[in-house]
Amino acid sequence: MNCHREQRHVSQQLSLAYDRRQIILERSEMADKLAGQYVDVYDFSDRPLEVRWKGHSLPYRVFSKDQRVSHTAIIENKRLGHALALVKAQQDVKHETKVRTNSEKTGYKKLGRRVYGPDYQAESVTLPTVEMTV
């Protein structure tokens, strides 16, 4: 049995992120105590994810960030067909997701290295001289 285990932090809203999915823990007496704690996420090769805390399996539901409108949904909903077709067209245009680094998000620009060595000469700024007459 192949299994990949990772620890994930549970937010105050009882949710955690794993594999581009938001996992929301079902409310229970045990789950309410887990806000701010770490839980183990077991990703098995032959069965669904399992979220455990100290050996106890926790019930959860998954919110996929990559949800898309399929062609069958457009065909099945005759009244919403046109609206769903528009949504699908917009999703096809926006589908390429670019993961940005923190530097890109904050607008950080690398200035380069400044070298101060034995032959360093500081750039001197000369101010224009003003002649005063009375």
pLDDT by residue for the chain (134 residues), tens only, comes to 688 888 899 988 888 988 878 888 888 888 888 888 899 998 888 888 888 888 888 888 887 666 666 666 656 666 677 777 787 788 777 666 678 888 888 888 887 777 777 777 777 667 777 777 76
Report the distance separating Cα 130 and Cα 74, nearest Å.
Answer: 77
Q: What are phi and psi of 128, to 5 degrees?
A: -70, 140
pTM flag (> 0.75)? no
Structure tokens at 23: 């996992």
